Amino acid sequence: MKVLAIANQKGGVGKTTTAVNLAASLAHLGKRVLLVDLDPQANATMGSGIDKSKLKHSTYSLLLGDSSIEQTLKTSESGGYDLLPASRDLAGAEVELVDADSRETRLKTALARVAVNYDYILLDCPPALNLLTLNGLVAADAVMIPMQCEYFALEGLSDLVNTLRRIKQNLNKKIEIEGLLRTMFDPRSTLAQQVSEQLVKHFTSKLYHTVIPRNVRLAEAPSYGRPILAYDKSSKGAQAYLQLAEEMLARHDALEAVPTV
Interacting residues with Mg ion (CB under 5 A): 15-16, 43
Minimum distance from residue 254 beta carbon to Mg ion (Å): 30
- Residues, the chain, total? 261
Interaxial angle between packed helices 153-170 and 190-203, expressed in degrees from 0 to 180 and rounded to the nearest 10: 30
Contacts of 38 (CB under 8 A, 6+ apart): 59, 86, 90, 107, 123, 124, 125, 126, 132, 133, 135, 136
Rounded distance, CA 57 to CA 202, Å? Answer: 43
**Contact partner at residue 11 from Mg ion, ligand ATP, none, CB < 5 to 8 Å by partner kind:** ligand ATP
Q: From the CB of 169, what's the least distance to ligand ATP, in Å?
A: 26
Three-state DSSP class for residue 169: helix
* 89 three-class SS: helix
Site residues for ligand ATP, 193-232, by CB under 6 A, read 212, 214-215, 218-219, 222
Residues touching ligand ATP: how many (CB under 6 A)?
20
Q: Which of 7, 13, 175, 207 binds ligand ATP (CB under 6 A)?
A: 13
The alpha-helical segments, DSSP class H, found in 171-260 are 190-203, 216-220, 236-257
Q: Which is nearer to ligand ATP, 149 or 167 (CB)?
A: 149
Residue closer to ligand ATP by CB (options 80, 126) is: 126
Name which of residues 25 to 44 contact ligand ATP (CB under 6 A): 39, 41, 43
The four Cα atoms 131, 35, 116, 250 give a dihedral, to 10 degrees, of -110
Tell me the closest approach of the beta carbon of residue 99 to ligand ATP, in angstroms.
Answer: 27
Instruction: Let me know: does 41 contact 52? Beta carbons within 8 Å.
Output: no
CB of 10 to ligand ATP, least distance (A): 7
125 with 4: CB under 8 angstroms? no
Among 15, 28, 106, 182, binds ligand ATP (CB under 6 A): 15
H/E segment holding residue 158: helix 153-170
Task: Provide, rounded to whole angstroms, the least separation between the CB of residue 176 and ligand ATP.
Answer: 21
Residues near ligand ATP, by CB under 6 A = 11-17, 39, 41, 43, 127, 183-184, 212, 214-215, 218-219, 222, 237
